A and B are shown apart, each in its own frame.
Chain A
Amino acid sequence: MKCPICKESVIWENNPARPFCSTRCRLLDLDGWLQERYGVPLDEGNFEYDESLEIPDNQ
């Protein structure tokens, strides 16, 4: 796979920084979490919740 930070390809074996290519990139990632730079977008229109499979209460 590719390093999440620098996008270089990552060697898995013998690499304590995995899944990053290097300790540098891993620490930059940790910085990202603690500086709250990572978010997943909540709505971008088409997040339909698939209500079609919803079953109405039969009460």
Chain B
Amino acid sequence: MVEKVESMESSEITEPDNLHAGISGASTEHYDADQIKVLEGLEAVQKRPAMYIGSTGPDGLHHLVYEVVDNSVDEHMAGFGKEINVTIQLDGSVVVSDNGRGIPTGMHSTQKKSAAEVALTVLHAGGKFEEGAYTVSGGLHGVGISVVNALSEWLELEIWQNGQVFEQRYLRGIPVSALNVTGKSQKRGTKITFMADPQIFETVEFSFDVLARRLRELAFLNKGLAINLVDQRNGKEKEQAFCYEGGIVSFVEHLNEAKTPIHKPIVIETEKPEMILEVALQFNVGYAENLFSFANNINTREGGTHLIGFKAALTRTINSYATANDLLKKEVESLTGDDVREGLTAVISVKVRNPQFEGQTKAKLGNSEVKGVVESAVNEALGSYFEENPAVAKKIVGKAIDASRAREAARKAKDLIRRKGALDGGSLPGKLADCSEKDPALSELFIVEGDSAGGSAKQGRDRKFQAILPLKGKILNVEKARFDKMLSSEEIRTLIMALGTGIGRRREESETGKVDKEVFDINRARYHKIILMTDADVDGSHIRTLLLTFLFRQMHELLENGYIYIAQPPLYKVKKGKSEQYLKDDNALNEYLSALAVEDVEVFVERDQAFVTQAELLPLLKSLIAFEDLLNRFGRKQFEAGILRAFGDQQTLNRDLLKNRTQLDAVIVEVKEALGKAYPQSRITIEVGEDEEHNTHTVHCRIPTNGMIHTLTLTHDLVGSADFRELQKLSPSAMGLGQPPYKMRAKEIESEFATSDELVQAILATGKKGLSFQRYKGLGEMNPGQLWDTTMNPETRALLQVKLEDMTGVDEIFTILMGDEVEPRRNFIQHHALEVRNLDV
């Protein structure tokens, strides 16, 4: 059994540990059992894996590989081993091998087993406790190879050392045998093969791309280290090799690949007794700031003292160069950190002896001594670079001045809000009907379009936890013949105040000069459910698009935290006798009517030569309704639905048939017959043309009716489209109804229909008998009680949560809608009117 151990405190995860010996001055070829110190064991890991590797999802799974690779990287940093191979094997297991010194194989001085076994079975056993090592530790890295062992269904260890080969196998962390010598080899290094435990992980499927991203990063950070990734799954082998002689300079060049740099990368390298610093930076013509910081190879996503030191030095050096050379214009007093970082791509990598990681995800470097060292090193190096390269220095200062001016435009915006006190959320807007609940997690805000609906909502709500904010769109004539719907700045301000988060940035004095501080703070959000409730019409969808776009762009964290919802008011109320029912949309209505209709109606199925009804008819009817819906969608793409209906009903029509003239002619005869029934008064022309590009035919159909000419050209593309195939699948002939006329029987009366559309309408009309409908055109048509019942009551309502990934689409719609280019906008509105309205994000 695995040794019993004391339970671990989470803070102990940040304790350094590792297998390999220290580097730098303390580096030694003598790397043996005594260096391993024993701290803890494994059962705790299996009980609470997330505490050690972050999660049991894909992130935690991939972490296993990083953990093993980190050990090999440390060995490389210590000066041993130049190559690491990572292979995902056919069975899903992963092999990591290096050509370092190999994990020590001698007997451990206090435990009666090999040092390697101690490293694999005891938590926090590792050479890195020794003085003088730049260790990977803290964060989630550096938890130790024993954690990987504990979380593997099986693990195989192979060590090549002193001419011998050692092997040992483990099952769920328990050694199957002792570490045995199994052969001879002149190789040197360690190979670990493991199969992640499917009883612990939600998935044990490794992603090539995820591993590749991290391994590439490691190769960038460790100049000259070769890391190869091989994937043997999926039949064919996939391989990527990472090795960068340029180190982080290559990293910066890689990040700037698609951009236009304004100078060659600037490199700063310093080695101090307490740390090693490497910086590479390069400005490009864009505006984005793209900073990556690492401490002991760990991506410090939340930054930390190294990043603070770098930023401070950059701001100071650029400002003092600008002042000394009289480059600042009158209107620009001094350049802020944001100004000087516009268009900057930089990688900052430090290696420190005892890194302390802080923050929620342990991704922030906390060592206070680091800031000063980084700051003075960067100040000095950058200062002399500027002196030697005045042309580059002037370009960088010029960019920062432009940035400062652009910011000025935005300042006006900030002032507008600040005057009203909205920044602090201190005072609440008068229009807001707040709830009495003070806990944001339990509070809901309904943003309601229009005053009358706002009134109903106020009366219908549960005032304990539901707040109401009525908002109105404003209509503005922006140019001749174009009226725009917009949110007034007053409405935007009201919204910001009600939400309580604040917005934008505020300039503050600090030790490094003036800095802009982020004002938006999700922790101050007053509601964790923010529900948009707008009418189900074009106007309503416009307001919703505007609101969503604003929230997405300026308060993306609300979306990322899942605070934004869309209310789903019903579109219909149906009354049958005394019972009332609300129906969400047209689909729900059609389903409701279908269910009623099939009780009274029979439809003739040619294939079976019989009438069907009720349960048998229902799926058939559903398919026919879907067929008509799809035709309608085609209609919006300006295909003639009436003609397409006849072609879509032909099961044999495909790209091959379109090439074969004889078969095509036979289909055309049938289509013509069907169209003859649908358009009895018209002369139908169908002509076949040549399509040389695809070596096939095109079919032109033309039907004049009262003053209108319907045309449709059937092409290679149209016939091959997924929509067309779907159409065929749903068509009446696919349902066995055969060709028109279609026969229906209701209450002993038989009738015939020339098109499936007419048939569907007739069936649904039967369902409507004895019903009364109300279509809600706006929320205002519902009384407070109805609004509560259908849309606001948490017990009965349906809310749509808006996901971040939905929003890129919304922003795109918005960008096109408000764009200045008339043509794309008109096309868009014509093609997407339905989507915009229903914006079922």
A residues in contact (CB < 8 Å) with B? 1, 3-4, 6, 8-11, 13-31, 33-36, 38-50, 52-55, 57-59
With A and B bound together, what is the CA distance between A28 and B402 in angstroms? Answer: 13
Q: Is the beta-carbon distance between A55 and B775 smaller than 8 angstroms?
A: yes
Given A22-B288, A34-B489; A40-B833 close (CB under 8 Å): no
CA distance A38 to B492 in the complex (A): 12
Flag if A39 contacts B486 (CB, 8 Å).
yes
In this assembly, does B818 line the interface, its C-beta being within 8 Å of a C-beta of chain A? yes
Judging by beta carbons under 8 Å apart, are B775 and A54 in contact?
Answer: yes
A4: B residues at CB distance < 8 A: 553, 811, 815
Q: Are A55 and B768 interface neighbours, CB within 8 A?
A: yes
Inter-subunit contact B485/A39 (CB<8 Å)? yes
Residues on B with C-beta less than 8 A from A38 are 486-487, 546, 549, 818
A47 contacts B829, C-beta separation under 8 Å: yes
Please tell me if the beta carbons of A29 and B829 are within 8 angstroms of each other in the complex.
no
Let me know if A8 and B291 touch, CB within 8 A: no
Assess whether B407 is interfacial by the CB under 8 Å rule. Answer: yes
CA distance A54 to B774 in the complex (A): 10
Checking B287, B483, B488 against A24 with a beta-carbon cut-off of 8 angstroms, the contacting residue is B287
Residue B409 is within 8 A (CB to CB) of chain A in the complex: yes
CA distance A47 to B592 in the complex (A): 28
Contacts A/B (CB < 8 Å), 19 sampled: A15-B290, A18-B556, A19-B553, A19-B808, A26-B553, A27-B410, A31-B413, A35-B413, A36-B476, A36-B489, A38-B818, A39-B478, A40-B545, A41-B482, A41-B483, A41-B818, A44-B826, A50-B834, A58-B773
Q: Could you tell me if B550 and A33 are in contact, using CB atoms closer than 8 angstroms?
A: yes
The answer on a CB contact under 8 Å between A47 and B546 is: no
Q: Which residue of B lies closest to A21 (CB)?
A: B288
B518 to chain A, nearest CB (A): 7
Residues of chain B within 8 A of A22, CB atoms compared: 286-289, 342
Cβ of A23 and Cβ of B505 under 8 Å apart?
yes
Taking CB atoms, residues of chain A closer than 8 Å to B549 are: 38
CA A50 to CA B830, docked complex, whole Å: 12
Contact B288 A29 (CB under 8 A): no
A21, chain B: closest CB distance, angstroms: 4
Q: Which of A24, A28, A40 makes the CB contact (< 8 A) with B342?
A: A24
Q: B-side interface residues toward A, CB under 8 Å?
A: 258, 286-292, 301, 338, 342, 403, 406-407, 409-410, 412-414, 416-417, 474-476, 478, 482-489, 492-493, 503-505, 516, 518, 537-539, 542, 545-546, 549-550, 552-554, 556, 572, 586, 589, 632, 768, 771-775, 807-808, 811-812, 814-815, 817-818, 825-826, 829-830, 833-834, 837
**Interfacial chain A residues near B538, Cβ < 8 Å:** 42, 47, 49
A-B pair count, CB < 8 Å, reads 173
Report the bound CA distance from A28 to B505 in whole Å.
Answer: 12
Contact partner of A46 (CB less than 8 A), chosen from B414, B545, B553, B833, is B833
Partner of B287, one of A14, A19, A25, A42: A25
Interface pair A24/B338, CB less than 8 Å apart:
yes
Find chain A residues with CB under 8 A from B342 CB.
22, 24
Measured in the bound complex, the distance between the Cα atoms of B833 and A38 in whole Å is 19
- Chain A residues closer than 8 Å to B292, beta-carbon distance: 14
Are B774 and A57 in contact, CB atoms less than 8 angstroms apart? yes
Report how far A48 CA is from B503 CA in the complex, Å. 37
Q: How far is the CA of A27 from the CA of B414 in the complex (A)?
A: 9
B837 partner residues in chain A, CB cutoff 8 A: 50
Shortest Cβ gap from A38 to chain B (Å): 6
**CB-CB < 8 A to B542: which residues of A?**
40, 42
Nearest chain B residue, comparing its CB with the CB of A45: B826
Would you call B484 and A42 a contact (CB within 8 A)? yes
* Bound: A22/B488 CA distance, A: 25
Contacts A24-B403, A31-B413; is A41 near B825 (CB within 8 Å)?
Answer: yes
A37 to chain B, nearest CB (A): 8
By beta carbon, the residue of chain A nearest B539 is: A42
Query: Is B486 within 8 A of A44, CB to CB?
Result: no
- Residues in A with CB closer than 8 Å to B406 are 24, 27-28
Contact between A57 and B772, CB atoms less than 8 A apart: yes
Identify the 7 closest CB pairs spanning chains A and B, nearest first. A39-B484, A27-B410, A39-B486, A21-B288, A22-B287, A31-B413, A34-B413
Residues of A within 8 A of B301 (CB): 13-14
Which residue of chain A has its CB nearest to the CB of B285?
Answer: A8
**A29 pairs with B484, CB closer than 8 A:** no
Per the bound structure, the CA–CA distance linking A1 and B486 in Å amounts to 24
Contacts of B504 in A (CB 8 A): 27, 30
> Are A29 and B537 interface neighbours, CB within 8 A?
no
- Chain B hits for A9, CB < 8 A: 258
Partner pick for B589 among A1, A18, A44, A55, CB 8 A cutoff:
A55
- Residue among A15, A35, A42, A58 with max Cβ neighbours from chain B (10 Å): A42
**B486 pairs with A58, CB closer than 8 A:** no
With a cutoff of 8 Å between Cβ atoms, the chain A residues found around residue B834 in the complex are 50
Q: Which residue of B lies closest to A39 (CB)?
A: B484
How distant is the Cα of A33 from the Cα of B632 in the complex, in angstroms?
Answer: 36
Chain B residue contacts of A50, Cβ below 8 A: 833-834, 837
Contact across chains for A21 and B287 when beta carbons are under 8 A apart:
yes
Cα A40 to Cα B824 with chains together (Å): 14
Q: Using Cβ atoms and an 8 Å threshold, which residues of chain A touch B812? A: 1
Q: How far is the CB of B298 from chain A (nearest CB, A)?
A: 14
Known contacts A4-B811, A27-B504: A11-B290 contact under CB 8 Å: yes
Residue of B nearest to A29 (CB): B553
Given A42-B542, A50-B834, CB of A34 within 8 Å of CB of B416:
yes
Measured between beta carbons, the chain B residues less than 8 angstroms from A33 are 413, 487, 489, 492, 550, 554
